[in-house]
Structure formats: structure tokens, C-alpha cells
Amino acid sequence: MDFAWYRSDIITISTPDEGTKAMTQSNSPREKILSPKSGWAMFVLWILAVAACVTMVALGPVPLKIAGLFSLLCLLVCLAGFFIVNPNQSTVLVLFGRYVGSVRGEGFYWTNPFTFKHKLSLRAHNLDGSTLKVNDLLGNPVEISAVVVWRVRDTATARFEVEDYNHYVRIQSEAAVRQIATSYPYDDLQAEGAEVTLRGSTEEIAAELTIQLSNRLGRAGVEVIEARLNHLAYAPEIASAMLQRQQAKAIVAARRQIVEGAVGMVDMALGKLKEQEILELDDERKATLVGNLLVVLCGQAHAQPVVNTGSLYN
């Protein structure tokens, strides 16, 4: 079949990522700072209006009494328009299902009484994550948890993009910690030459955890101030075996250092004897002296001297 009639510019097909991004950008609310009327000025006007309505009801004829009573009912409804914003708090205003704006400045305000007011805290929150049991890069079970310091950056996104931003922060923090734990080995005992480990690279792990959390929580209008691990240990079922392995490695490293030092001291002793011509030693006597010195220097117990009354060959 001939499809020459088809024009590719008639329909533009976007990739799923592009479409999702465009939809998110078009539908996602962005914070709009609002400066409503001063509550004190409106309160003074409200008091004067109430006084006028009471006067109408008390002294006026019947039509004015009715108008005064109706006005009093309207003034009572207007009381719902007063609200207070405390320091480091924000109030999100929604009028008939439409986002109006967010009030960040502390003070006493008045707005449309039919506006719903949702208060959000702008203070820094401290999330002490629960201890999770996950496998590291090599499959070893470890226990890990993190502390995350965060705060709301975009009140509109935090209010309307997620169901509960506090719960969202907790769940996403646990997911990020799990991903970090499975991406690196616990330490370099099992992964020789590993540049980054969970136990040995605390600053690198904290920086990557902060980046991952910022990417995840940015969708909810949350800013990550700091994130770092506060608990890291092998799971109980392998903790004793890993402790023995760490102890063995420490013992081997200590022994290696002792042997290197002992060999250097023996070499220095032989060099001094030859340099100062104190004693001429043949190869067999040198071997015996080296063996005795190594036993003395590398042994764990104190050496017991043995007095030889004969010669080396008797």
C-alpha cells in the first residue's frame, strides 16, 4: 500500500515521559503568595457594622428591624473570614475548590468567609526513620536507619499533590535508604578495593542520600535540609561471624606490622655488628642469631634465656 499521503506533522506523538511531564506541569499547582486584608482594620469595621445593626433593630421601624437582623446574620458569617498566621506557618486558601493562594507572613488577616483555610507548618521537621533490615550490595543482611531533616518548601504542592505529605516523606525516606543500602557493600572487608562503603564513607553516603531524597520529595514540595545514617550494623544472624572476621583481619594486620618491624631490627643488628667489627659470623651463626631474634621480637610471651656452656656445634 502507498502511504505517501500520510503527513507526519498532522499528529505529534510525545513519549510517555514527556507527556507525563507536560501533564504534571499543567495540572500541578504552584505556590502563589497572597497578601489578604488586615484583620484589625476589618475587625474595626465589623464592630461598627454590628453596632449599626443593633441600633437598627432596637430603634428602627419594622422594615429596618428586619434588615438589621439579616445584616447581623451576614456579619456573623463574616466572622469566619478572620484567621491568624503564626510564625513559621503558612495558610493555604481554597475558595469553592479553587486554589487562591498561600499566606506566609505572620499576623491577623481577613479573607472571604467561604474560603477554606489549611494550615501548614514551615518549621524544620526531624524524621527518625525506623530500623530496616536489607541486603547490601553483596547480599549480606544489614540493619540500617537514617535521620532526615526536612521542611515544606512549596505549600501548594505539599497540600494538593500528595494525600499526606508527612506520610509521603516517611515512606519515600525508607525507600531511599533501602536503595542506598543495596547499592554499596557494608565495608571493604568483603569488597576489596571498594571506593565507597556504607561504614567507611559516611560523608559520601550522606550526600547521595540527600540527593536521592531531594529528587523524591521534591514532588511533594518538600526540601531536604540534611540526611544521614544514624544506625548501621550487621543483622544478628551474621553479626558474630562478621565480628570474628574483623578480628582476624585486625590480628593479621598487627602481625604483619610486627614481622616487618622485627625484620628491620634484625637487619639493623647484623649491620651494626659488621660495621663495628664486634663479631664475625658465618652463615650458620647468622641464621641462628636471626632465628633467635625473630623468636624474641615476634613472640607473644617473654623469652626465657638459655645459657649455652659449650659451643654452637656441641
275 or 117, which is more confident: 117
Residue 170 has pLDDT above 50, yes or no: yes
CB-based contacts of 244-247 (< 8 A; 24+ apart in sequence):
245/189, 246/189
Q: Is 98 helix (H, G, I), strand (E, B) or coil?
A: strand
Global pTM value: 0.67
For residue 5, the model assigns a pLDDT of 36
Dihedral sign computed on CA atoms, order 121, 161, 167, 126: negative
From 128-142, 165-179, 260-274, the region with the lowest mean pLDDT: 260-274
- Residue whose C-alpha cell reads 419594622 in the numeric block: 62
Strand partners of residue 205: none
Between the alpha carbon of residue 163 and those of residues 158, 166, 175, 220, 270, the distances in Å are 9, 9, 18, 10, 80
Please report the sign of the dihedral spanned by the C-alpha atoms of residue 204, residue 207, residue 210, residue 214. Answer: negative
Give me the pLDDT at residue 35, please.
Answer: 87
- Non-local CB neighbours of 297 within 8 Å, separated by 6+ positions: 258, 261, 262, 265, 266
- Distance, CA of 290 to CA of 294 (rounded, Å): 6
The pLDDT assigned to 48 comes to 92
| Average pLDDT score, the chain | 80
Count Cβ atoms below 10 Å from residue 126 Cβ, excluding itself.
11
Residue 124, SS3 per DSSP: coil
pLDDT for the residue numbered 306: 64
What does the angle CA 29 – CA 35 – CA 40 come to, to the nearest 5 degrees? 140
Average pLDDT in the 124-146 region? 90
Does the pLDDT value for residue 94 go beyond 90? yes
Measured in degrees and rounded to the nearest 5, phi and psi for residue 193 equal 85, 5
Note the pLDDT of residue 9: 37
C-beta of residue 56 within 8 angstroms of C-beta of residue 67: yes
The more confident residue out of 56 and 262 is 56
For the segment 114-124, the average pLDDT, to the nearest whole number, is: 93
* pLDDT tens figures, 278-287: 666 666 767 7
Cα(90)–Cα(108) distance, integer angstroms:
12
Which residues touch 68 (CB under 8 Å, ≥6 apart)?
53, 54, 55, 56, 57, 60
More confident residue, 241 or 94: 94
Distance CA 304, CA 156 (A): 82
At residue 153, the pLDDT reads 93
Given a cut of 80, is residue 6 above it in pLDDT? no
pLDDT > 70 fraction of the chain, expressed in percent and rounded? 76
**Highest mean pLDDT: which of 80-89, 193-202, 241-250?**
80-89
Alpha-carbon dihedral sign for residues 189, 141, 147, 243: negative
Of the two residues 289 and 169, the one the predictor is more confident about is 169
Q: Grid cell 467561604 — which residue?
A: 114
Pairing of strands 107-110, 222-234: unpaired
CA-based radius of gyration for the chain: 39
> What type of residue is 286?
K
Q: Which band of pLDDT confidence, cut at 50, 70 and 90, is reported for residue 301?
A: low
- Nearest CA to 88 out of 57, 116, 65, 119 is that of 119
Question: pLDDT above 90 covers what percent of the chain?
Answer: 42
Helix (H, G, I), strand (E, B) or coil at 170: helix
Say which range, 4-18, 133-147, 292-306, has the weakest mean pLDDT.
4-18
The predicted pLDDT at position 60 comes to 78
Write out the H or E segment, with its range, that includes residue 131.
none
Tell me which DSSP letter residue 129 carries: P
What pLDDT is recorded for position 262?
77
- Is residue 64's pLDDT more than 50? yes
- pLDDT tens, residue by residue, 184-240: 888 766 656 668 888 888 899 999 999 999 999 998 999 999 999 999 988 877 666
pLDDT digits (tens, 9 = 90+) for 35-45: 888 889 999 99
C-alpha cell at 91: 495558610
